[in-house]
């Protein structure tokens, strides 16, 4: 079983809705990540948090808003999404000094 827990597993939302994806890890990792994965494609990096501070934003549209309330939690707030934003959103964590990322099972998002 993965030690990175993501909720919800599935989410359907309209283009005018506001929703959030949540991620939690209890491995003591101080780096957390959001990746987006489209079908039959590799995961693409969106955001990196290190010690609860945003360190990398891969030019992600502002309709995606990340938040790291504490060292165990990572949120991704969603607003005014487009149908092309439908994808599997993956959260991962790692020790800050190592590249070994541990992924959650993802949240499958469908935007209608």
Partner 1 sequence: QQQVKQSPQSLIVQKGGIPIINCAYENTAFDYFPWYQQFPGKGPALLIAIRPDVSEKKEGRFTISFNKSAKQFSLHIMDSQPGDSATYFCAASYGGGATNKLIFGTGTLLAVQP
Tell me the DSSP string of 11-50: EEE-TT-EEEEEEEE-S---EEEEEEE-TTS--EEEEEEE
Residues numbered 57-86 forming contacts with partner 1, rule: CB under 8 A? none
Helix (H, G, I), strand (E, B) or coil at 73: strand
1 - beta bridge partners? none
Please tell me whether residue 2 binds partner 1 under the rule CB under 8 A.
yes
| Residue closer to partner 1, measured from CB, 58 or 112 | 58
Contact pattern for partner 1 over residues 14 through 53, marking x by CB under 8 A: -----------------x-x------xxxxxx--x-xx-x
Is the peptide bond between 8 and the residue preceding it cis, with omega within 30 degrees of 0? yes
| Least distance from partner 1 to the Cβ atom of residue 35, Å | 9
Contact 7, 103 (CB under 8 A): no
Please tell me whether residue 1 binds partner 1 under the rule CB under 8 A.
no
Where on the chain is the footprint of partner 1 (CB under 8 A)?
A: 2, 4, 6, 31, 33, 40-45, 48, 50-51, 53, 55-56, 90, 92, 94, 96-106, 108
């Amino acid at each position: 079983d993965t030690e990175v827990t993501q909720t919800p597993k599935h989410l359907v939302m309209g283009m005018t809705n506001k929703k959030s994806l949540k991620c939690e890890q209890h491995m003591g990792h101080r780096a957390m990540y959001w990746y987006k994965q489209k079908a039959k494609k590799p995961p693409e990096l969106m955001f990196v948090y290190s010690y609860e501070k945003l360190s990398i934003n891969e030019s992600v549209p502002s309709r995606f808003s990340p938040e790291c309330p504490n060292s165990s939690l990572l949120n991704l707030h969603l607003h005014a999404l487009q149908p092309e934003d439908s994808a599997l959103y993956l959260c991962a964590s790692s020790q800050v000094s190592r590249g070994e990322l541990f992924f959650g099972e993802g949240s499958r998002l469908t935007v209608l």
